[in-house]
Amino acid sequence: MRPQWWLGKEKIMKKETMSRRDQTRRISILAMFIALIVVMGMVPFLGFIPLFGLSFQIITIPVIIGAVILGRKYGVILATVFGITSMIRGAMSGGFDFLFVLPWISILPRVLWGIIIVDVFAFFKKVFGRFEKTKHKRVLSLAISFLVVSLIHTLFVVPMIATGFPIVFESPSVYDGVLKGDFGQETIDGLSGLQSFNTIMKWMFGVIISNGIGEAIIAMLIGSVVTDRLLVYLNNNNQAILRGGVYENRD
pLDDT, one tens digit per residue, over 79-138 is 999 999 988 888 876 666 777 888 898 899 999 999 999 999 999 998 887 654 555 788
| Region 6-28 average pLDDT | 62
Residues 6+ apart with CB under 8 A from 53: 95, 96, 190
Q: Specify the pLDDT at position 89.
A: 85
Phi/psi of residue 36, nearest 5 degrees: -65, -40
* Separation CA 77–CA 23 (nearest Å): 16
pLDDT tens digits, one per residue of 101-116: 888 988 999 999 999 9
Quick one: how many helices (H) and strands (E) in the chain?
Answer: 10, 2
Query: What's the total number of domains in the chain?
Result: 1
Q: Specify the pLDDT at position 241.
A: 82
Q: What is the CATH number of the domain that holds 170?
A: 1.10.1760.20
In a domain, residue 251? The reply is: no
Asked whether the predicted pLDDT for residue 18 surpasses 70, the reply is: no
Residues 6+ apart with CB under 8 A from 172: none
pLDDT tens digits, one per residue of 162-202: 777 666 555 444 444 445 444 455 555 555 555 555 666 66
List residues bridging with 56 in a β-sheet: 49
In a domain, residue 6? The reply is: no
Range of the domain at 60: 19-242
